[in-house]
Amino acid sequence: MPNLVRFSALRPSIIKPGTLLALLSTASQALESIELYMPTVQWIGNDIESLPFANLCPLLPRLHTVHLVLPTLVSPNTTAFITHLLGSTAMRLETLKLSHRSSDSFDTTPFFSSVHLWPVLRTLCLPSETNLSRLPASPSVRKLELNLSSEAPHSHATVPPSAFPVLEELHCKHQDLPAFLPNYRDIVRHPIHTVVLDDAGYGRDAEYGMDASRHAMRHAPDDPARMFAALRRVFASLSHSAVPVTHLSFAMKRFELLDLPSLFLPHGIQALETLTIVIDGEQPDAGHADLLGQAFFAHMPQLHTFLLCEKLDIEDDSFSVVGLEEHSLRKARQKTCLGTFSQHSAVLRRVMLTLDWEWRKSESGEWESVDDV
pLDDT digits (tens, 9 = 90+) for 305-363: 999 887 655 444 444 555 778 888 888 888 988 998 999 999 999 999 888 889 999 99
Q: What is the mean pLDDT of residues 149-161?
A: 67
Q: How far apart are CA 40 and CA 70, in angstroms?
A: 8
Does the pLDDT value for residue 240 go beyond 90?
yes
The pLDDT of residue 202 is 84
Is the distance from CB of 204 to CB of 358 less than 8 angstroms?
A: no
Where exactly are the structural domains of the chain?
190-314+322-373
**CA distance to 116, 178, 222, 297, 315, per residue, from 202 (Å):** 36, 24, 23, 21, 16
Distance (Å, whole) CA 264 – CA 257: 13
In the structure, what pLDDT confidence band is assigned to residue 180 with cuts at 50, 70 and 90?
very high
Q: Report the predicted TM-score, pTM, of the whole model to 2 decimal places.
A: 0.88
Going through 47-199 in order, the beta strands assigned E by DSSP cover 65-70, 95-100, 123-127, 143-147, 169-172, 194-197
3-state secondary structure string, 251-271?
Answer: EECCCCHHHCHHHHHHHCCCC
Give the bridge partners for 213, in sequence order: 202
**Residues 229-247: what's their mean pLDDT?**
93
pLDDT tens figures, 65-122 = 999 988 877 777 778 878 888 998 999 999 999 988 766 667 788 899 889 999 999 9
Least confident of 17-26, 36-45, 95-104, 255-264: 36-45
Residue 241: how many CA atoms within 13 Å on its side-chain side?
25
How many CA atoms within 13 Å lie on the side-chain side of 369?
17
Whether residue 227 is predicted with pLDDT greater than 90 in this model: the reply is no
CB atoms within 10 A of CB 254: 16
